[in-house]
Amino acid sequence: MAAEAKIKPIVISAKNLYKIFNVGGSDAVTALQNVNLEIRAGEFISLIGPSGCGKSTLLRLIADLTKPTQGELNINGKDPHQARLDRDYGMVFQAATLYDWRTVTKNVQLPLEIMGYPRTVRQHRAQEMLDLVELGKFANHYPWQLSGGMQQRVAIARALAFEPSLLLMDEPFGALDEFTRERMNMELLRIWEKTGITVIFVTHSIPEAIFLSSRVVVMSPRPGRITQIVENNVEYPRMFETRETPRFFEKVTEVRELLRDAHLEA
Amino acid sequence: MTEQSISSPNTMSLPVPRLRLYMPLLLALAAAVLVTGIGFHFRSLPLDAPLLLDSTPGELAVWMAGQSEEAAPASVLGGWAKQWALQSGAASADVNALLALMQTLVFVWCSITALSIGVGIIGLLTNADWTRNVLLVGLIGTAFLLFLMPTQDGDTTAALIIVAIVLLLGVLLAAPGRITRLIGFMVAIATILVAWESVKALAASINYQIATPQPGWTFTAYPSLDEALAALQNGEIVAVFADENDIEDLMPAYPEDETTAALPYADLRYLARLELREQSFIFPLTPDMQGRLTVAVHTDVAQQYQRPSQLIGLPVGAVADEFAVEKYLSLPRSLVLLDLQIFNDLNLPHLQNIAEAFLQPARRNGEFLLVRILGDAGLFTFREALQGFVFGVIFGLLLGTAFAHSKLMERALLPYVVASQTVPILAIAPMVVIWLGASPTAVAVIAAYITFFPVTINTLRGLQSPPPTAVELMESYAASRWTTLWKLRFPAALPYIFTALKVSATASVVGAIIGELPSGIGDGLGRAILDFSSDYSLTSTPKLWAAIVMAASVGVIFFVAIGILERLILRQYVRST
C-alpha cells in the first residue's frame, strides 16, 4: 500500500515552513524551522517527537487554526484558509470535545448541521458513521454515559461524518489506557483501510506510530524541525500479532534511536 | 446501619447498646401519645372554651357563621357556610355546629398524624427504608398543629406540641432511610418553629422581671379607668397611662384633634403618636396587653408632652390591674439586665397568631379573609415581578451576548453595569416613577433594574465557558460566529444562565415590592406591608408577618418554578450524581 501511495496525488505540501511565536519579541520561540514535507493521498502519516518539537503546531498550521510565519503550505492545492472554508479536513483532538447537551448521534450530526445537510441525510450518515466505529447502539446516549474510549470513537465518527479527504488527529488516544489504546489503534487502522482517507496523526508513542502509519515523521525540539522521515514497511494487514514480529521491533528501534539522537543533539 | 455493618465487620460482633435501639421507639411512642391526647382533648372541649374559640379553626368557624348571615356572602368560605346552613333548612349557619365540625376536623388531623407516627414505629421495628418518609408525615402533621392551637396562660397544649415536635425530630434523625431534600427542608423548618416558640416562651418568662420603667415615676394606681381619668380632670395627676383601644372612644386624639362633642372626656386628649420604643420602654408588653399604650393628658398641656419620659417626676396614674403597673413602676430601672422586647408578642407574634391573621378578615367584619386579600396582592405583585423579570432577562441576555462578542463593549460598558448595582434601588425607584408615571410598568422597570445584572454577568461567563478546543472544533468546520454562538456558546451558557435566572426570580419580587412604594400602587404586597407596619400593634403585627410570609411565598414559588423549568430544559446536562 505504501508503494501504491507514491503514484497518488500530493495532498499536502510544505516548503520552507517556519512558525515563530512572538515574532520580534525577546521571548520569540521558533516552533517550526524549515519544514519540508509532501503527503500523498491515502497515506497514514504519524508525527512523532518529544514535547515542544512542533508536531501539534504543524498539525494546527495544516488545520488553519494558526498561521505560518514564513514558507509555503498547500492543502489539496489551496492555501490552508481556503481548505478550511472548503471543509477539506476532519479534526480529532486529544479530548473528545463532545458537546454534553447533545446525544451521540446529534454530536456526529453537528458538522452536517453546520454544512446544511437535510435532516434525513444527517441521520442516515450519522448512523452509518456510528456503525463504522461500532457504536450504532449508543446513538441516543449522552456523552457522559460513555467511557473515554467510546467518546473518542464518537469524535472520530464526527470527524468522518462529512466525508473529508483528510483526517487530522492530535494525540487522540493520549488520555486512554494501554489496552483501550491498542484496541482503538486496530479500529482506526480498519477505518483507514475501509475509507482510504489520508490521516495525519500526532503521537508520543513509538509503537503506536509504527503500528498505524505508512510513514513516520520524526521531529526534534528547539527549534522544532523534521529529523527524518521513516518509510514504514511493516506489512499489511496489521493485527495484534504484528506488534510481536521482528520487523515491528526493528522499526520501533529505528525510530527510538532517531529520537534519542535528536534528543542528545538538543 | 446496614452499610456500616457491611463495611466494617468488626462492629457486628460488638453488642448493640440497648438504649440506642429502644430510645427512638420510646420517643416515637411518646410523640404519638401526645398527638392523640391533643386530638382527644380538643374534641372534648366545651364549645365556649377559650382554647377552642381562640384557635385558628375556632376563629374561622365564628367568622364563617357571621358571613352566612349575609344574603349572599362574597367569599368562598362564607358561601360554603351559607350553603351548608341552607341544606339543613336554616337561614344561617349555626356557630356551635361549625365549631363542632372544626373540633372533628382537628381530631381527624391529629388521628392521621398519630397513625403515621404509629406506622413509623413499625418501620423502626423492622428497620424499613421508608421509615423516615412516614415519620416526616407525622412531623409535618404535628408542626401544623402549632398554627392551629393558641398559646394561652395556664394551658399546656402549645407546649406539648413543641415537645412532640422535638421528640419526632429526634426519632427522625435516628430512623433508617435516605435523607431526602424534603426531609432536610422540613427538619430545618420544624427546628425554626420550635426555636421561635421556645425563645418566645423564654422571653415571656423573663420579661416580667426585666421590662421595668424608668425610675422616678410618681405613680398612683386606680381601680378603674374612669376613676383615673376623673383624677386627671381634677388635676390630681397630670397624665394617665392606658391602652389606646380603651381610650380612643372616650376622648379626641392629639394632634389630630377632631373635636366631637359626643365624647365623654372632651377636655382630655390622648397622645396618638407616641413613639413605639417609648411605649415598650415604660411598660412591659405582656400577653395581656391587647393594643397600644397611650397617654391621656389635659387638652391645654397636650402640646407639652410628646414623650412619656417628659412625665418623669410628675404625678401620673394608671389602672391598677391593667398592666400590673404597680409591680413594674416600683422596681428600679437598674434591675434591667437584658432587653428581650424583640421577642414579645408585639414584635414576634406566636405562630398561631400569624396563621390566625391569615384566616381573619383584614378589616373588622370584612367580607374577605386576609389570605384572600394578600393572595390577590401577591398575584398582582407577581405579575409586576414577572414583567420586570422578562424585561431584565431579555436585556441581560442581549447585554451579556454583546459583551461576549465585543471586547470593546465589555471594557467600555461592564464597569457601568457594575456601578448601576451600587446605586440603591430605593434611590432609583422614585426617578423611574417620575419618568414613567405611577404604573405597573414603572414597577416592572424597577424590578428589571435589579434583575438584569446577574443575567448579564452569568450570560457573559457562560458564553465564555467552552474550552478552547470546543471553539476550535467549530473553527475547523468553518462555522460562522452566529453558528458558534447558537450551537456551542449558548447551549454551554444555559446552566450559567439558569443560575442567574433563579437569583433574578427572587430579586424581581423584591424589586416589584420596592417599586410599589414610591409609585403608590395600592393593589400589591408593597402597600400591604406598608399599611401593616405603619399601624404597629398587637392586632396588626401578625398581619404584617402574614404579608411577609406571602411575599416570601411569592418569591419561593417563582424560584421553584424556574428551578423546575431548569430541570426540564437542562435534563441532558445533568451528569449522573
pLDDT in tens, B52-102: 888 999 988 888 888 888 877 778 888 888 888 888 877 777 888 889 999
Whether residue B437 has pLDDT greater than 90: no
Residue ending a domain, choose from B145, B176, B206 = B206
Rounded to whole angstroms, how far apart are CA atoms B21 and A157?
59
Peptide bond before residue A223 is cis, with ω within 30 degrees of 0: yes
Q: According to the model, what pLDDT value does residue B103 have?
A: 93
H-helix or E-strand containing B402? Answer: helix B370-405
Q: What is the pLDDT of residues B463-495, one digit of tens each?
A: 999 999 999 999 888 888 899 999 999 999 999
Q: What is the pLDDT of residues B112-135, one digit of tens each?
A: 999 999 999 998 888 888 888 899
In a domain, B493, yes or no: yes
Q: According to the model, what pLDDT value does residue A153 have?
A: 87
Whether residue A94 has pLDDT greater than 60: yes
Residue ending a domain, choose from B181, B206, B231 = B206
CA dihedral A106, B476, A46, A165 (to 10 degrees): 80
Rounded to whole angstroms, how far apart are CA atoms B532 and B544?
5
Residue ending a domain, choose from B318, B335, B352 = B335
Candidates A65, A110, A142; nearest CB to B487: A110
Residues B299 and B150 in one domain: no
Q: How far is CA B232 from CA B236, B247, B265, B366, in A?
A: 6, 13, 10, 37
Q: According to the model, what pLDDT value does residue A17 have?
A: 87
- For the ranges A17-31, A110-124, B213-227, B363-377, the maximum mean pLDDT occurs at A110-124
Whether residue A111 has pLDDT greater than 60: yes
Q: Quick one: closest CA in B to A158, which residue?
A: B473
More confident residue, B577 or A111: A111
Domain span at B376: 370-573
- Is any Cβ of chain A less than 8 angstroms from the Cβ of B469? yes
Strands A29-40 and A10-21: antiparallel
Closest CA to B345 of B492, B122, B176, B151: B151
Identify the band that residue A5 occupies on the pLDDT scale cut at 50, 70 and 90.
Answer: very low
Rounded to whole angstroms, how far apart are CA atoms A217 and A236?
19
Residues B129 and B23 in one domain: yes
* Shortest Cα–Cα distance, B503 to chain A (Å): 23
Identify the band that residue B501 occupies on the pLDDT scale cut at 50, 70 and 90.
Answer: very high
Strand ordering across the sheet containing A70-75: A29-40, A10-21, A70-75
Contacting residues of B for A67, CB less than 8 Å apart? none
Identify the band that residue B6 occupies on the pLDDT scale cut at 50, 70 and 90.
Answer: very low
Whether residue B225 has pLDDT greater than 90: no
Candidates A85, A95, A97; nearest CB to B478: A85
Closest CA to B354 of B193, B166, B186: B193
**Residue A219 CB burial class (10 angstroms; 0-12, 13-18, ≥19):** buried
- Is any Cβ of chain A less than 8 angstroms from the Cβ of B577? no
CA B399 and chain centroid, separation: 37
Q: According to the model, what pLDDT value does residue B258 have?
A: 61
Kindly state the average pLDDT of the residues A3-26. 79
Say if CB B542 and CB B356 are below 8 A apart.
yes
Which range among B144-153, B298-307, B407-416 shows the weakest confidence by mean pLDDT? Answer: B298-307
Residues B89 and B201 in one domain: yes
Identify the band that residue B551 occupies on the pLDDT scale cut at 50, 70 and 90.
Answer: very high
- Is any Cβ of chain A less than 8 angstroms from the Cβ of B473? yes
B512: cell is: 416589584
- Residues A97, B467: C-beta atoms closer than 8 Å: yes
Strands A10-21 and A89-92: unpaired
pTM assigned to the model: 0.73
- Residues A115, B477: C-beta atoms closer than 8 Å: yes
In a domain, B360, yes or no: no
Residue that the C-alpha cell 467549530 belongs to: B474
Candidates A84, A89, A97; nearest CB to B470: A97
Residue that the C-alpha cell 351548608 belongs to: B84
Q: What is the DSSP letter of A215?
A: E
Kindly state the average pLDDT of the residues A185-192. 87
Residue that the C-alpha cell 396562660 belongs to: B153
Q: According to the model, what pLDDT value does residue B559 have?
A: 94
| Average pLDDT taken over every residue of chain B | 81
Q: What is the pLDDT of residues A41-77, one digit of tens each?
A: 888 999 998 888 888 889 999 989 898 888 888 888 8
- Is any Cβ of chain A less than 8 angstroms from the Cβ of B495? no
Q: According to the model, what pLDDT value does residue B383 have?
A: 92
More confident residue, B236 or B108: B108
Residues B143 and B261 in one domain: no
Contacting residues of B for A99, CB less than 8 Å apart? 470, 487-488, 491-492
Whether residue B1 has pLDDT greater than 70: no
More confident residue, B234 or B392: B392
Q: What is the pLDDT of residues B163-211, one digit of tens each?
A: 999 999 999 888 887 888 889 999 999 999 999 988 888 777 665 443 3
Identify the band that residue B430 occupies on the pLDDT scale cut at 50, 70 and 90.
Answer: confident
Residues B202 and B222 in one domain: no
In a domain, B343, yes or no: no
Q: What angle do the packed helices B525-534 and B370-405 form, to 10 degrees?
A: 120
Whether residue A1 has pLDDT greater than 50: no
The 8 Å CB, 24+ separation contacts for B158-165 are B158/B197, B158/B350, B158/B352, B159/B201, B160/B34, B160/B37, B160/B38, B161/B34, B161/B38, B162/B194, B162/B197, B162/B198, B163/B34, B164/B30, B164/B31, B164/B34, B164/B35, B164/B38, B165/B139, B165/B190, B165/B193, B165/B194
Residues B312 and B383 in one domain: no
Contacting residues of A for B576, CB less than 8 Å apart? 144-145
**Residue A28 CB burial class (10 angstroms; 0-12, 13-18, ≥19):** exposed
In a domain, B35, yes or no: yes
In a domain, B213, yes or no: no
In a domain, B103, yes or no: yes
- For the ranges A27-36, A186-195, B115-124, B337-346, the maximum mean pLDDT occurs at B115-124
- Residues B478, A142: C-beta atoms closer than 8 Å: no
Which of A110, A162, A167 should one mutate to test binding to chain B, selecting the residue with the greatest count of B CBs within 10 A? A110
Rounded to whole angstroms, how far apart are CA atoms A71 and A33?
10
Contacting residues of B for A115, CB less than 8 Å apart? 477
- Residues A91, B476: C-beta atoms closer than 8 Å: yes
Residues B142 and B264 in one domain: no
In chain A the domains, ranked by start, together with CATH numbers, are 2-88+164-265 (3.40.50.300)
Give the number of A-B residue pairs with CB atoms closer than 8 Å.
Answer: 57
Candidates B477, B483, B572; nearest CB to A101: B572
Rounded to whole angstroms, how far apart are CA atoms A39 and A199?
10
Residues B280 and B159 in one domain: no
ipTM confidence score: 0.88
Residues of A at the B interface (Cβ-Cβ below 8 Å)? 63-65, 84-87, 89-91, 93-95, 97, 99-103, 110-111, 113-115, 142, 144-145
Rounded to whole angstroms, how far apart are CA atoms B320 and B291?
17
Q: Which distant-in-sequence residues (6+ apart) come within 8 Å of A43 by Cβ?
A: A2, A5, A8, A11, A198, A199, A214, A215
Residues B199 and B222 in one domain: no
Number of domains in chain B: 3
In a domain, B541, yes or no: yes
Whether residue A2 has pLDDT greater than 70: no
Closest CA to A166 of A203, A127, A196, A125: A196
A223: cell is: 527549534
Rounded to whole angstroms, how far apart are CA atoms B466 and B492?
6
- Judged by phi (left if over 0) then psi (alpha if -120 to 50, else beta), residue A21 lies in beta
Identify the band that residue B382 occupies on the pLDDT scale cut at 50, 70 and 90.
Answer: very high
- Is any Cβ of chain A less than 8 angstroms from the Cβ of B573? yes
Contacting residues of A for B566, CB less than 8 Å apart? none
Whether residue A151 has pLDDT greater than 80: yes
- Is any Cβ of chain A less than 8 angstroms from the Cβ of B486? no
- Residues B487, A113: C-beta atoms closer than 8 Å: yes
State what percent of residues in chain B have pLDDT above 70: 82
More confident residue, B514 or B219: B514
Candidates B469, B492, B572; nearest CB to A142: B572
More confident residue, B218 or B383: B383
Residues B274 and B161 in one domain: no
Whether residue B339 has pLDDT greater than 80: no
Q: What is the pLDDT of residues B280-290, one digit of tens each?
A: 445 443 334 44
In a domain, B358, yes or no: no
Q: Indicate which CATH number applies to the domain containing B449.
A: 1.10.3720.10
Residues B173 and B315 in one domain: no
Kindly state the average pLDDT of the residues B502-528. 88
Residues B9 and B142 in one domain: yes
Identify the band that residue B140 occupies on the pLDDT scale cut at 50, 70 and 90.
Answer: very high
